[in-house]
Amino acid sequence: MVMGLQTTIYIIVGLTFALYIGIAIWSRAGSTKEFYVAGGGVHPVLNGMATAADWMSAASFISMAGLIAFMGYGGSLFLMGWTGGYVLLATLLAPYLRKFGKYTVPDFFKTRYYSNGAAVVAVLCLLIASITYIIGQMTGVGVAFSRFLQVDKTTGVIVGMAIVFTYAVFGGMKGITYTQVAQYCVLIIAYVIPAIFISMHLTGNPIPQLGLGSHFTGSDMYLLDKLDQVVTELGFAKYSTSVRISKLNMFVYTLSLMIGTAGLPHVIMRFFTVPKVRDARASAGWALLFIAILYTTAPAVGAMARLNLHTTLNKALLTGGDVFAPENNIKYEDRPGWFKRWEVTGLLKFTDKNGDGRIQYYNDKNKAFQAKAEAAGWKGNELVVNRDIMVLANPEIAKLPNWVIGLVAAGGLAAALSTAAGLLLAISSAISHDLLKNFLMPDLSEKGELMAGRIAMACSIIVAGYLGLNPPDFAAGTVAIAFGLAASSLFPAIMMGIFSKTMNRQGAIAGMLAGIIFTMFYVFGYKGLFFIKGTAYFPKPVNGYWFLGIEPNAIGAIGALLNFIVAFIVKNMTAPVPEDIAEMVENVRYPKGAGEAAAGH
């Protein structure tokens, strides 16, 4: 059984990797235009698929449903923030940025704010946000490889780095675009098929989105009511109503994710790869459709994974018996195969605190429930489950066929690697094109720029791999920090660049610096620097209250507000925008048609 499973996983993952590398070699970039924007001739539907793959990272595929599984209703902030943010990007920013006809986001800053200094600051903000984001992808790669390829997390990250290096460094945006189309197909099939299987088993409804609101199989209870019953019997809060954070944090966290989405350079770059402005709008619509397939499935996956996890470990939760009865808590020596396989990775840990050889998994922080647990001889929760394993472990817990489990392995890796490649290209172009070609080495040849881009990408892979081994949070938590950094720095400056004819370079630069410095100081003050993991400089929250009452992962929205305020104050104290720049902004906002965008870079 185990050998058969592993063999199936090796074959499916191996075939998908061969497909990605083959596409990269076939579509190798031969010019800077192909390297940065795939030659500007990608069809909107294909660009929509590539954008969806670029957008749906390890945080979406691996971590988001896991967070929803443990946070319950409160996890909806990730769905609202990320989906709403993409709509904001597609409607307010993408078409206008495409009209500028530039290769990169810093290119836009250089032209709009008539300043190399603004472009350099944008490069620095882009690098900080993108490198933080890629840590979450490398964390996801490590989680997936550590289980499915039977290697430790360090080896998994190194193998992932090598794969990304191969198709990102050689293919550039052209190779990445067509690779991401294939990766989208793999990841969406891998996400939806297990959800259909599990929904059918638990509710009899093959559509997971409808299964979430259907009756539990063999019962007159709805699935969510059954889940509420299961988690409350173990001392956890009700799944369908629990909110871990305050209303203030719920609001600013969601807002931070939304505007952070609209400021992410690797997603914005995708809209430079289509021939026309109207194609940018069309590809945005297609991408939203492709993204919605996964995002509407995620709540069902999270709920069903949580239910499967608990009912597998405690028989009474399914039969209606006494949850405290010893015979209903499975023996550690009789633990199922999926438990043993994930235990090897270190992401699932059992500690026999009462010495009875049985697994007691419950909320030992619930004071009211604790008395009942102690009366039954329980001496604390004995199982630690990493949230990032829930989507990947769910098919195994549900005892789905080996080929489905192998498909999920390939899908998780596709999600992490596709976004990692897009991020690396954004980093590469920022260094080679915006920093070297446009600022430090203006005489750099096209061949030299391509080589510099590839070297920058290779160095970025090494740095990202190291940081991926020392993440500050779960995959989705780390990504949320990156969104906060983009929200506080790039988003306000892009918005003001498009919608304010009077915003000048001094205001934009001052705003970006104020936003990014404030957000970094707040986040790293609580979480510590990546290189000194766990070292915090602010005190932990007292009675649940953080400084300013805002969680570090949600502070990006406050940083963005500070950015706007500082920018407008400085603008009013400095020289006005040149007339030709104001006219350019007017032309971009109110184009005379949706024809070819301005050429050149």
pLDDT at res. 588: 75
Which is higher by pLDDT, 144 or 595? 144
Which is higher by pLDDT, 422 or 184? 184
Per DSSP, helices labelled H in 27-63 are 32-37, 44-55, 58
pLDDT at res. 242: 67
Of 182-186, 210-214, 271-275, 530-534, the range with the lowest mean pLDDT is: 530-534
**Digit-coded pLDDT (tens) for 256-268:** 999 988 777 767 7
Q: Which of 134, 200, 162, 178 is nearest to 26 (CA)?
A: 178
pTM: 0.80
Which is higher by pLDDT, 534 or 151? 151
Q: What is the DSSP string of 356-394?
A: SSB-----TT-HHHHHHHHHTT--S--EEE-GGGHHHHH
Which is higher by pLDDT, 57 or 381? 381
**Digit-coded pLDDT (tens) for 119-170:** 889 888 988 888 888 777 777 777 777 776 777 777 777 877 777 777 666 5
- The pLDDT of residue 26 is above 80: no
Q: What is the mean pLDDT of the chain?
A: 80
pLDDT at res. 568: 96
Q: Where in the chain is the domain with CATH 1.20.1730.10?
A: 2-21+39-308+395-589
Q: What is the DSSP string of 285-297?
A: HHHHHHHHHHHHH
pLDDT at res. 546: 63
pLDDT band of 274, cuts 50, 70, 90 = low
pLDDT at res. 32: 47
Which residues 6+ apart lie within 8 Å of 133 measured at CB? 57, 264, 266, 419, 423, 478, 479, 482, 483
pLDDT band of 543, cuts 50, 70, 90 = very low
Which CATH superfamily does the domain covering 2-21+39-308+395-589 fall into? Sodium/glucose cotransporter (1.20.1730.10)
Burial class (CB in 10 A: 0-12, 13-18, 19+), 330: middle
Tokens of 307: 């239910």
Of 59-68, 234-243, 515-524, 588-597, the range with the lowest mean pLDDT is: 588-597
**Digit-coded pLDDT (tens) for 47-101:** 888 888 777 777 778 778 888 888 887 788 888 888 888 888 777 777 777 777 6
Percentage of the residues of the chain whose pLDDT score is greater than 90: 21
- The pLDDT of residue 307 is above 90: yes
pLDDT at res. 505: 93
pLDDT at res. 103: 59
Q: Best-predicted range by mean pLDDT among 140-144, 312-316, 399-403, 563-567?
A: 563-567
pLDDT band of 219, cuts 50, 70, 90 = confident
pLDDT band of 12, cuts 50, 70, 90 = confident
Contact 220, 348 (CB under 8 A): no
Of 119-123, 391-395, 438-442, the range with the lowest mean pLDDT is: 438-442
Contact 421, 167 (CB under 8 A): yes
pLDDT at res. 76: 81
